[in-house]
Structure 1
Amino acid sequence: MPRTGPRVPYQEAARELLRTSVLDAMRELLTERDWSKITLGDVATRGGVSRQTLYNEFGSRSGLAQSYALRLADDLVDHVHSAIDGNVGDVRAAFREGLGGFFLEAAADPLVQSLLAGEVKLDLLRLITLDAGPLLEHATERLAVAFQHSWVGASAAESAVLAHALVRIALSYIPTPPAPGRNAPADLSDLLSPYVEAILAARELS
């Protein structure tokens, strides 16, 4: 049966496969030992590629970590987007479900666990603080599309504001998890939902 949809160029498909294989290999290694004890050579060997290929694609150890962190940012977008689709008309439930799923998954991620364990790892910490620009931009752009092209129906400007706030706040919870007894998804839902509810109310009046 013929495949439908646009054909992905071979080079693009091959590069995506390479990046996925390498990042999966990095995740496997992180379940075995701390990030501080993992070298690019270790990742290359586990991923079945040469060190030169790894350097060509990621540039450095920091570049590799940033690519892994971008995948975490994509997880945030995917969780929230899926929750929006699954909770039509109920923004509070969508935020609680989407953020709850992301926080649970992030807490179990081996890179996040490595960040929070042992001595401070400034290179990882910078990825989601001082050097978080690429993550914020990438996730904000993707999530804004979800708010704009869903039942939320926010304008481009409104979507950008909402997405940027959600992504920035959600990522800030990674290095500083909420205190015991705090329900972060519910708290953030209470904070962000009125903005969406105002958008929906204004649309009904127009």
Structure 2
Amino acid sequence: MTNRVPFQQATRTLLRDSVLGAMRELLAGKDWSEITMTDVATAAGVSRQTVYNEFGSRQGLAQAYGLSLADVFVDTVDAAVYAHVGRAHDALVAGFTGFFERAAADPLVQSLLGGAVKPDLLRLITTDGAVLIDHAAARLAETFRRSWVQASEANAVVLGRGIARLAISYIAMPPEPDRDVPADLARVFAPFVEAIGSAGGDGPGTTRFR
């Protein structure tokens, strides 16, 4: 009985990954407006009802894909933070650069930015964007708490939410080609990270800047 819940969770994760992966493959050749739930189900090798049971609706499927994109952003920033110990500016530049590059290459983002206006996708990052922001912000806050930044819970939340909001806003309006936007954003956030370091993270166990 104790193994039942982990098994169910693993099965559900596998299902969601399979469906979202199939959706990504379909988007490589078709616009989002042309893709149906049946198309996604067929590509994933499951029934249409299974997709509806898991995601609720086409909008729910798009939101799940958006959350996976938010995870890509967090994973990119997390890796950059650990790769640039004690160097806030470099870590943030690498994190933002990596995310912008991966977002630009993502087929759903390309579908959002190309062709006819897609209100359902726009809602994901505007009026309905709180779900993505909250998800990314919570994970980023954890990164800033546990990494060499050693931010207090309050500072980690402020930093996580600020970075998440800005990054997601750039999905609908990509960085200007004549600006080094990652460097610009790093200039905004790095002083706050440095202040956290100089103040001991507002908590115990702080690793100082070198």
Identity among equivalent positions (%) equals 58
State the distance in 2 between where 1:188 and 1:7 align: 45
Match of 2:149 in 1: 152
What pairs up with 1:53-72 in 2 under 5 angstroms? 53-72=50-69
1:20 alignment partner in structure 2: 17
Are the aligned partners of 2:89 and 2:190 in contact in 1 as well (CA < 8 Å)?
Answer: yes
Instruction: Determine which of 72, 75, 78 is the counterpart of 1:75.
Output: 72
How far off is 1:181 after superposition? 1.1
1:125-172: per-residue Cα shift (whole Å, max 9, x none)? 110111011111111111100000111010000000000000000011
SS in 1 for 2:172: coil
Structure 2 gap segments, 5+ residues each: 204-210
Aligned counterparts of 2:140 and 2:96: Cα–Cα separation in 1: 13
Partner of 1:95: 92
Structure 1: distance between partners of 2:64 and 2:202 = 44
Unaligned runs of 5+ in 1: 1-5
**C-alpha RMSD of the superposition:** 1.7
State the SS of the aligned residue for 1:119. coil
Figure out how many residues of one structure are paired with residues of the other and give that number: 201
Match of 1:187 in 2: 184
The equivalent residue for 1:111 is 108
Q: How big is the shift at 1:179?
A: 1.8
| CA displacement at 1:180 relative to structure 2 | 1.8
Name the residue aligned to 2:47.
50
Q: 1:7: how far off?
A: 9.8
User: Residue type of the partner of 1:178?
Assistant: P
Relative to the length of structure 2, the TM-score reads 0.93
Matched, 1:86 2:83: yes
Counterpart secondary structure, 1:9: helix
Q: Deviations over 1:8-33 (max 9, x none)?
A: 71111000000000000000000011
Contact 2:89–2:186 (CA under 8 A) maintained in structure 1? yes
**What is the TM-score with the length of structure 1 in the denominator?**
0.94
